[in-house]
Amino acid sequence: MFRWHDGIARAGLAIVAVLALLAAGPGSAEPKRGGMLVFAQEAPPPTLDPNFSSAISTRNIAMHVFETLITRDENNDIIDELAESHAASADGLTYTFKLRQGVRFHNGKEMTSADVKGSYERYKRMALARITLDAVVAMETPDPYTFVLKLGRQMPVFLDEVSAFVVPIAILPAEQSGREGNKIDLIGTGPFQFVEWVPDSHVRLKRFDGYKPDTRSAGTNGFAGRKQVWFDTVDFKLVREPGARVAGLEAGQLQIIEDLPAESAKRLAANRNIVIYDLKNFWLQGAWVNHARAPTTDNRIRRALQIALDMEEIMEIATDGAYALQPGLQYPGNPYYVTDGGQYYNAKDVNKAKALLKEAGYRGEELVIITNSSYQNMYKAAQVVSEQLKAVGFKVRMDVFDWATAMAKRQDKENWNLWFTGQGTGPSVGPYAAMKDVVSPQLNQFTPDPVLDKLFDELISGTSFEARKAAFGKFQARVYDQVLFLKFGDLTRKQAARANVKGFLPYRIPRMWNVWIEG
Amino acid sequence: MAEYVVRRLLAAIPVLLLVTLISASIMQLVPGDPASMIAGQNASQIEIERVRVELGLDRPYGERMLAWFAGLPRGDLGRSILLQRSVADAILERVPVTLALAGFGLLLTIAIGIQCGIIAALRANTWVDQAVLVVALAGVSIPNFWLSLMLIVLFGVMLDWLPAGGYIPFADDPLGWARSLILPGISLALLQIGLLARITRATMLEVLRQDYIRTARAKGLPGLLVIGKHALKNVMIPVITVIGISFGLLLSGSVVIETVYSIPGMGRLLANAVFGRDYPLIQGGLLVTAATLVLLNLVVDLLYAVLDPRVTFDRG
Amino acid sequence: MRHRLFATGVVLFGIVLVLAVFADVLAIAPPEKMQVRFRFRTPEWAFPLGTDNFGRDIWSRLVYGARLSLAIGFGVVVATGIAGTAIGLAAGYFRRLDNPLMRAMDALMAFPAVLLAIAIAAALGPSAINAVIALAAVYTPRTARIVRATVLVVRETEYVQAALACGARHYWIIRHHVLPNSLAPLIVQLTFIFAYAVLTEAILSFLGVGPPPPTPTWGNMIAEGKDYLREAPLLAVFPGIAIALTALGLNLLGDGLRDVLDPRLRVQHG
């Protein structure tokens, strides 16, 4: 469902295609070793410990320093990284990873199964997403290049979860296994090594000369593949203000920037020195619905607000035109993409909504919207939703907090009816991460739904892909039917680079390997 | 005088303790904690709780505060939750940046503010005087964060004369350092220039009315010499007061200016600490800021004594 | 000449006051009304100052913003006036209270004003009333100091000493001698605080801890406009000018009042 303003987006894609050809095809300039690149990111990393945060700002940097056993490739399929190979036993209870040999940490030591075991132990003990390894009952290292995980129960989606990069299972030297969260030395096996972190200013990485490229791929492939670093150093510079990022890029002080405002992109489209990259499906823009606080305890009232919304207006204003409209809780092209429940999406049926409110006996109970001032598109979306809901007769109160307060307010069911968010990496790595927030134990809506819990269980324990996908279809239908999540649309995020930056391929997390500056 | 200094410093201790207590109590009332910042945007409640436990934020508030206060006598301000270093280190890193910015602002303030004030006084009740007064008032009235945005767009983006933001350390590139301070320095100084110009004018007018100046002028001494030798010295006292106040205002103003210009100084450090709920950093940072202000006031008072022998320190 | 400046101040403030009082009449559309088809309009007949990124009429938001800015500024003046007078009187008049009260005021003044306001506003939650409380907390110490200083002078005067000797009650002395003498410097100071409050409230809104939308505040308008500075600068330009003119009007007014009410203060404040 692409729209007229996507013309720029298509132009951007065309440029990407041309660039890729240039990078790969004969006659292109040879990559040059040396120099420095400055990447501007919008948020400061709250920590650089990759096991301790799911923040994008952390992964932007950490994914260059650390690597994992298995990860996702350019198409989001599972791919070996530090693993030479991986295999599951027939009973699904034993997973064996053969490790690549000759891989070195930045401290010069070779990575062995002891390091992998230490890292997995740390992850299972303290990581944010340690639940991923909940089923693991034993870890074994039969030899220096073999690592075995024993599961206590079958978990068909185990490898999907282990390879997901929401909170990557980074491999650290074994001696750091006992470290608490946030207290590791930044030593990994990645193609870049850590130099310095000046908070509020930048993180500097340099090329790791002892890096042994993975020759199984020809080039960049997701977070894996053959990684060659051309730059001497890369700075991840914190530039919060979008305008300052754009100005720095135009002036040539910044080579690549993330989160280019859509309005600026329209202006920069004509600038020959700058290339714009579209990251489609960056996140699902939406809002959680609380089922435990009036008036959204009544499904008729929830339905009324669901069908009253005009998603085009919401997304147009929230993203300045950088979006796509579709009902799925996965992105088109994902293996699990389904459209179940779509009849309730973007219905714009004001009259029906009013009728439902009347039928439910809505008497002007205050509908509380919580949004935040830290993410502009959530802030804007909330304002539009608020006006649309007022138009059908809701009495709306909007509370705007900074992010930390908004998160704290979410915990108490008395505080809100709609809570604005963007679901980013979760949906991109699979359906479980996308919707785990509406089942126990997170339960954003506060009221357990046995039907939903059962469907979620089918989703993660289904033994075939078809069975899991069918379960997800029913799950998504249930989410729409009970109005657990109001999905507005898919946000397109824009990155931009100077035109002389070659080899850069847009991805959810920027990758600075196989990138060089021409001339 | 030494006794006076000691007495003033002792009197400052309860004030500083109050500052710390107030800041700690206010921050406890602010909902949210650093765990949600670390865990990331889509973290679940359980995941945030993990981080909380790992950071020791689940320990009772009183216990954490006691531990923090216990470190104070050793000069230990605690450890920043979000910056991976001790609070003292984090502050020491930022102080030079803010000092550079505030110093630059002060330089502009003194250079322009005193000049304008003197000119206005010498041309009292003419259009020059009036113009200076209006400009000075405008300086006090224009919101400096808004002015900053306008300056960035005009000089940083459209004309591309100066950096649109960011800070370049002096050691990296002295010229770049100076250029990176121009716009923020102007934005910061505008308010102070207005204040200083007005007080200089008022004081100058009083001084010019004094008999000895009139006599000197009547004797035909050149005007500039009179101003230079006699008047300026008298003007210095109120001017130093204003500079003392200004420096405090500059520190406060730097919170906004550093945020808008992306300058990694004390102001932004503290603002980010508040938004990130980095409790030890907030308490330590505010304690240091308050102590600086107290010291500054003391220095200002001592300067009075140097400039004006009539001032004594009999009264507490 | 000074009268002319004072008159300018009266006129400027008067204009803003009229905008604020008659916002309902002067606005051509409800300030929160969004029209997605009319986003980023430059000024034209239907939209005198253009529209913003939501397609809302900037002029209408500006006049409603005036109402809120003045209401908050006035709220701060009243709150600061009452709290500052009470604390200043108590500290100046009752010697035993002097030290603890003034040390507490010193502590409040030792905070960078903006940070203190941000922290209090964040602690209380975003609303117009909480913004008033946060700003009042920031500006009360200044008022208290001025009142205390006046009280110290007045209580040493012969007539007060005489009244005390005759057994006059504290309330009577405060009412008839102390308060009237404190009034002039207080009014002048409060005018300036009005200006500061308008400016600082804009900072709070700009940083996202002021009154929440859809309430149109000038600070919110600048914050929303700052992402479009290059493409649609008018979004941020108009509210900035409005703030500057309001503060200028108040400052001119304060200057003029000072000349009329209390010429002695001229030097102290410049």
- The widest CA-to-CA distance across chain C, in whole angstroms, is 77
Residue of C nearest to A406 (CA): C125
**pLDDT for the residue numbered B28:** 83
Output the CA torsion C199→C204→C206→C212 (10° steps).
Answer: -120
Structure tokens at B166: 């960011």
Answer whether residue A206 is part of any domain.
yes
**pLDDT for the residue numbered A6:** 39
Question: How near does any CA of chain B get to the CA of C159, in Å?
Answer: 25
**pLDDT for the residue numbered B47:** 86
Total domains in the fold of chain C:
1
**pLDDT for the residue numbered A29:** 63
Distance between CA atoms of residues C100 and B210, nearest Å: 41
**pLDDT for the residue numbered A21:** 44
Percent of chain A exceeding pLDDT 70 equals 94
Residue of C nearest to B251 (CA): C112
**pLDDT for the residue numbered A94:** 97
Q: What is the CATH number of the domain that holds C19?
A: 1.10.3720.10
Answer whether residue A394 is part of any domain.
yes
Answer whether residue A261 is part of any domain.
no
**pLDDT for the residue numbered A14:** 43
**pLDDT for the residue numbered A220:** 93
**pLDDT for the residue numbered A17:** 44
Is B83 close to A248, i.e. CB distance below 8 A?
no
Residues 46-105 of C with CB under 8 A from A: 53-55
Domain holding C20, by residue range, is 4-269
A253 touches chain B (CB under 8 A): yes
- If asked whether residues A352 and A469 sit together in one domain, one would say yes
Res B56 pLDDT > 90: no
**pLDDT for the residue numbered B238:** 67
**pLDDT for the residue numbered B240:** 78
Instruction: Name the residue among A54, A181, A408 with its Cβ closest to that of B42.
Output: A54
Percent of chain C exceeding pLDDT 70 equals 96
Measured between beta carbons, the chain A residues lying within 8 angstroms of B150 are none
**pLDDT for the residue numbered A352:** 96
Is C209 close to A402, i.e. CB distance below 8 A?
yes
Is C228 close to A263, i.e. CB distance below 8 A?
yes
Res A259 pLDDT > 60: yes
In order of A75, A275, A316, A494, the CA distances from A280 in angstroms are 13, 16, 15, 8
Question: How near does any CA of chain B get to the CA of C150, in Å?
Answer: 18
**pLDDT for the residue numbered A107:** 96
pTM (2 d.p.) = 0.88
B159 touches chain A (CB under 8 A): no
A409 touches chain B (CB under 8 A): yes
Question: How near does any CA of chain C get to the CA of A297, in Å?
Answer: 25
Residues 181-240 of B with CB under 8 A from A: none
**pLDDT for the residue numbered A4:** 37
**Weakest mean pLDDT among A51-60, A87-96, B31-40, C18-27:** B31-40
Question: How near does any CA of chain B get to the CA of A156, in Å?
Answer: 23
**pLDDT for the residue numbered A151:** 96
**pLDDT for the residue numbered C262:** 61
**pLDDT for the residue numbered B131:** 87
**pLDDT for the residue numbered A12:** 43
Domain holding A303, by residue range, is 283-490
* A427-445 residue pLDDT tens: 888 888 777 888 888 889 9
Answer whether residue A276 is part of any domain.
no
B303 touches chain C (CB under 8 A): no
Choose among B97, B177, B264, B279: nearest CA to A203. B264
- If asked whether residues A198 and A312 sit together in one domain, one would say no
Beta strand spans in A45-122 (E): 70-72, 78-80, 83-88, 94-99
Residues 241-260 of C with CB under 8 A from B: 243-245, 247-248, 250-252, 255
Question: How near does any CA of chain C get to the CA of B21, in Å?
Answer: 10
Which of A233-237, B31-35, B219-223, B284-288 ranks highest by mean pLDDT?
A: A233-237
C122 touches chain A (CB under 8 A): yes
Q: Which of the four pLDDT bands, split at 50, 70 and 90, describes residue B152?
A: confident
Question: How near does any CA of chain B get to the CA of A178, in Å?
Answer: 13
Q: Sketch the domain layout of chain B as residue ranges.
A: 16-82+276-316, 91-275
Mean pLDDT (whole number) for A265-289: 93
Answer whether residue A263 is part of any domain.
no
Is C107 close to B125, i.e. CB distance below 8 A?
no
Res B309 pLDDT > 90: no
B90 touches chain A (CB under 8 A): yes
Amino acid at residue number C64? Y
Res A350 pLDDT > 80: yes
Mean pLDDT (whole number) for B35-44: 85
**pLDDT for the residue numbered B310:** 61
Mean pLDDT of chain A: 90
Tell how strand A136-143 and strand A83-88 pair up: unpaired
Partners for B (CB, 8 Å, 3+ pairs)? A, C
- If asked whether residues A297 and A159 sit together in one domain, one would say no
- If asked whether residues A195 and A149 sit together in one domain, one would say yes
Is B260 close to A239, i.e. CB distance below 8 A?
no
Res B305 pLDDT > 80: no
* A435-493 residue pLDDT tens: 788 888 888 999 999 999 999 999 888 889 999 999 999 999 999 999 999 999 999 99
Answer whether residue A277 is part of any domain.
no
Is B39 close to A53, i.e. CB distance below 8 A?
yes
In order of A23, A127, A228, A444, the CA distances from A29 in angstroms are 8, 43, 16, 52
* C209-232 residue pLDDT tens: 888 887 889 999 999 898 888 888
- If asked whether residues A351 and A404 sit together in one domain, one would say yes
Question: Are the beta carbons of C69 and C196 closer than 8 angstroms?
Answer: no
**pLDDT for the residue numbered A355:** 96
**pLDDT for the residue numbered C268:** 39
Instruction: Name the residue among A239, A404, A424 with its Cβ closest to that of B42.
Output: A424
- Measured from the Cβ of residue B83, the count of other Cβ atoms closer than 10 Å reads 25
Structure tokens at A53: 């945060």
B149 touches chain C (CB under 8 A): yes
Choose among A120, A153, A117: nearest CA to A135. A153
**Weakest mean pLDDT among A227-236, A265-274, B153-162:** B153-162
Instruction: Name the residue among A320, A384, A400 with its Cβ closest to that of C212.
Output: A400
**pLDDT for the residue numbered A23:** 47
Where b means 16+ CB within 10 Å and e means fewer, A278-294 reads bbbbbbbbbbbbbbebe
Is A408 close to B32, i.e. CB distance below 8 A?
yes
| Optimal mutation site among B42, B92, B158, interface A, most CBs of chain A within 10 A | B42
Question: How near does any CA of chain C get to the CA of A99, in Å?
Answer: 48
Is A402 close to B32, i.e. CB distance below 8 A?
yes
Is B138 close to C248, i.e. CB distance below 8 A?
yes
Is A317 close to C208, i.e. CB distance below 8 A?
no
Helices (H), A324-419: 350-359, 376-391, 403-410
* B179-215 residue pLDDT tens: 989 999 999 888 888 888 888 888 888 777 776 666 7
- If asked whether residues A209 and A342 sit together in one domain, one would say no
Q: What is the CATH number of the domain that holds A198?
A: 3.40.190.10
- If asked whether residues A323 and A234 sit together in one domain, one would say no
Residue B35 or B310, more confident? B35
Question: How near does any CA of chain C get to the CA of A318, in Å?
Answer: 9
What end-to-end distance do the CA atoms of chain C give, in Å? 17
Measured between beta carbons, the chain C residues lying within 8 angstroms of B273 are none
- CATH number for the B91-275 domain, one of 1.10.3720.10, 3.10.580.10, 3.30.200.20, 1.10.10.60? 1.10.3720.10
Structure ipTM over 0.90, yes or no: no
Question: How near does any CA of chain A get to the CA of C209, in Å?
Answer: 7
Mean pLDDT (whole number) for C234-261: 91
- If asked whether residues A377 and A230 sit together in one domain, one would say no
Question: Are the beta carbons of C191 and C175 closer than 8 angstroms?
Answer: no
Q: What is the DSSP track for chain B?
A: -HHHHHHHHHHHHHHHHHHHHHHHHHHHHS---HHHHHH-TT--HHHHHHHHHHHTTTS-HHHHHHHHHHHGGGT---B-SSSSSBHHHHHHHHHHHHHHHHHHHHHHHHHHHHHHHHHHHHTTTSHHHHHHHHHHHHHHHS-HHHHHHHHIIIIIIIS--S-SS----TTT-HHHHHHHHHHHHHHHHHHHHHHHHHHHHHHHHHHHHSHHHHHHHHTT--HHHHIIIIIHHHHHHHHHHHHHHHHHHHHHHHHHHHHHHT--SHHHHHHHHHHHT-HHHHHHHHHHHHHHHHHHHHHHHHHHHHH-TT------
Res A189 pLDDT > 60: yes
Mean pLDDT (whole number) for B240-268: 81
- If asked whether residues A199 and A217 sit together in one domain, one would say yes
Structure tokens at A475: 């799950």
For chain C, the C-alpha Rg in angstroms (whole number) is 22
Amino acid at residue number A475? F
B13 touches chain C (CB under 8 A): no
* A243-255 residue pLDDT tens: 888 888 988 889 9
Residues whose CB is less than 8 angstroms from the CB of residue A138 and which lie 6 or more positions away in sequence, other chains included: A148, A149, A150
Residue of A nearest to B49 (CA): A128
**pLDDT for the residue numbered B227:** 63
Is A442 close to B275, i.e. CB distance below 8 A?
no
Percent of chain C exceeding pLDDT 90 equals 43
Instruction: Name the residue among A317, A373, A376 with its Cβ closest to that of C54.
Output: A317
Is B157 close to A409, i.e. CB distance below 8 A?
no
Total domains in the fold of chain A:
2
Mean pLDDT of chain C: 87
Partners for C (CB, 8 Å, 3+ pairs)? A, B
Instruction: Name the residue among C113, C122, C247 with its Cβ closest to that of B30.
Output: C122
C226 touches chain B (CB under 8 A): yes
Is A400 close to C53, i.e. CB distance below 8 A?
no
Residues 97-136 of B with CB under 8 A from C: 125, 129-130, 133-134
Mean pLDDT (whole number) for A501-514: 93
- If asked whether residues A471 and A506 sit together in one domain, one would say no
List residues in chain A touching C: CB distance below 8 A.
241-243, 246, 261, 263-264, 266-267, 313, 316-317, 320, 373-374, 376, 379-380, 383-384, 386-387, 398-402, 405
Q: How many CA atoms lie within 13 A of A513 on its CB side?
A: 26
Mean pLDDT (whole number) for B70-93: 89
**pLDDT for the residue numbered C60:** 94
Question: Are the beta carbons of C270 and B193 closer than 8 angstroms?
Answer: no
**pLDDT for the residue numbered B137:** 87
Reduced to 3 states (helix: H, G, I; strand: E, B; else coil), residue A202 is strand
Mean pLDDT (whole number) for A182-191: 94
**Weakest mean pLDDT among A89-93, A362-366, B132-136, B145-149:** B132-136
Res A178 pLDDT > 90: yes
Q: Which of the four pLDDT bands, split at 50, 70 and 90, describes residue A186?
A: very high
Mean pLDDT (whole number) for B283-305: 84
Mean pLDDT (whole number) for B104-119: 87
Residue A344 or C180, more confident? A344
Q: How many CA atoms lie within 13 A of A510 on its CB side?
A: 29
A48 touches chain B (CB under 8 A): yes
Question: Are the beta carbons of C16 and C66 closer than 8 angstroms?
Answer: yes
Q: What is the CATH number of the domain that holds A312?
A: 3.10.105.10
- If asked whether residues A197 and A129 sit together in one domain, one would say yes
Question: Are the beta carbons of A38 and A232 closer than 8 angstroms?
Answer: no
Helix then strand then coil, % of chain C, to nearest 5 = 75, 0, 25
Residue of A nearest to B268 (CA): A200
* C189-198 residue pLDDT tens: 899 999 999 9
Res A207 pLDDT > 60: yes
**pLDDT for the residue numbered C5:** 82
C229 touches chain B (CB under 8 A): yes
| Optimal mutation site among A3, A4, A263, interface C, most CBs of chain C within 10 A | A263
